[in-house]
A = this chain, B = another copy of it.
Amino acid sequence: MALFSRNEYLKRITDTKTAMDKKGIQILVVCDPANMNYLTGYDGWSFYVPQAVLVIDDQEEPLWIGRNMDVNGAKHTAFIKEENMIGYSDDYVQSDIKHPMNFVADTIKEKGWTDKSVGVETDAYYYTARSDKELRKTLGKDVLDGNLLVNWVRIVKSDAEIDLMNQAGKIAEKVMSTALDNLAVGTRECDAVASVYQAQISGLSDFGGDYPAIVPMMPTGDKTSAPHLTWTDDPYQNSQTVNLELAGCRNRYHCPIARTAFIGTPPEKLQTLADITVEGLNITLDGIKPGMKGEDVELIWREHIAKKGFEKESRIGYSMGLNYPPDWGEHTASLRPGDKTILKPNMTFHMILGMWMDNFGFECSESFRVTETGVKTFASFERKLFVI
């Protein structure tokens, strides 16, 4: 059964069609798994083969097209009628000769939609160069750019989506406290991360967790300057900073959360940096109001740290929510100079403030929604330098 009401899905589809119309797109081929989920409810780890949801200007429901063996998964999770779920045979999978996008294009032709203009998500992770080429080849015509079109529809969340993000926030609190509880001199990084994973997936007694779109990042020592390295077997050592970039996830909705810990007695300069950063986080969150632009939010932060004698960070946050690996960001609005997105209630952001000096650093973040009057964070977790 799909997670949201039929009416909610139909509203999302209507909003998508409105955006399509502005770009002259009559059929949008959606391959981003988060967008496929958003428009139909479909949720499965099947995006390692090409699959698509087609939004058609004059059809109420979209078409789901995937591998035959995944049609049952669509029946379990998508709101659409079974007649709108179409499977392709396994000889399309990992073949030199046939490609699932030939099947998608053939479906468009068989439905008699040859004259409709087709849009695609040109920069979606799983829409490869070959996908695009095979689709155009079988269609016999060029396609329009519908990149990020659905992502922009997703930017304002429904109350039902906010409920899930609040649950993700509760899981995030448990995840972060688990991480802090498991940091100790001599504990292997892999063992601390394993405890974090356990907390992420188990969730709470009222509701379980889902896999976040990004693995837990808990670098320490000189690896804190390499933000995307994953864990090793090395034990945590005394007198080292540990960055904790984690998340709670509920039904694919995320609440990222970052904190910094120090194992041992922190140097005074780190404590000072932490105090300035946390003060900046508080001031920036307090300053956000609907109607501001993304760039206005960043300015609050930049002016705060300038007063303290520090340089600005160029981007301090981004829109996020529903997603799949490899990223929980929505790739739409950012909190950075030049971003003209006007903040509206139920837009949801992860604001992450990182201050990196030559050989030490501190970061702290909050995930929040914009409200009618300000912001509300999804998790409630102390903002400070944690000393282990």
Contacts and interface: CB of A to CB of B under 8 A. Distances in A.
B70 A228 contact: yes
A295 interface: no
A190 B202 contact: yes
Interface string A30-64: 00000000000001111110000000000000000
B132 A129 contact: yes
A47 B355 CA distance: 23
A201 B208 contact: no
Contacts of A92: none
A189 interface: yes
Interface stretch (A6-14, A72-80, A278-286, A299-307): A72-80
A69 B210 contact: no
Contacts of A341: none
Interface stretch (A253-261, A324-332, A343-351): A324-332
A232 interface: yes
Contact of A215 (B45, B193, B334): B45
Given A129-B131, A191-B202, A208-B190, A46 B228 contact: yes
B76 A223 contact: yes
Contacts of A231: 201, 208
Which interface residue of A45, A120, A203 has the most chain B CB atoms within 10 A? A45
B76 A229 contact: yes
Report the contact-size class of chain A (Cβ under 8 Å from the partner): 35 or more
A302 to B, nearest CB: 15
A44 B228 contact: yes
Interface in A227-280: 227-233
A317 interface: no
Contacts of A46: 228
Contact of A43 (B77, B209, B229, B327): B229
Given A47-B326, A125-B128, A130-B123, A189 B208 contact: yes
Contacts of A70: 226-228
B120 A129 contact: yes
A48 B215 CA distance: 12
Contacts of A211: 215, 230
A188 interface: yes
Contacts of A229: 43-45, 73, 76-77
Interface in A306-364: 314-315, 325-327, 329, 331, 334
A122 B133 contact: yes
Contacts of A130: 122-123, 147
Contacts of A315: 90
A158 interface: no
A127 interface: yes
Nearest to A71: B226
A225 B123 contact: no
A190 B203 contact: yes
A194 interface: yes
Which interface residue of A127, A225, A326 has the most chain B CB atoms within 10 A? A326
Given A73-B229, A76-B223, A189-B208, 19 more contacts: A45-B215, A45-B217, A45-B326, A69-B228, A70-B228, A73-B227, A75-B226, A90-B314, A90-B315, A99-B123, A125-B125, A125-B126, A130-B147, A190-B201, A190-B202, A190-B203, A190-B209, A191-B202, A197-B200
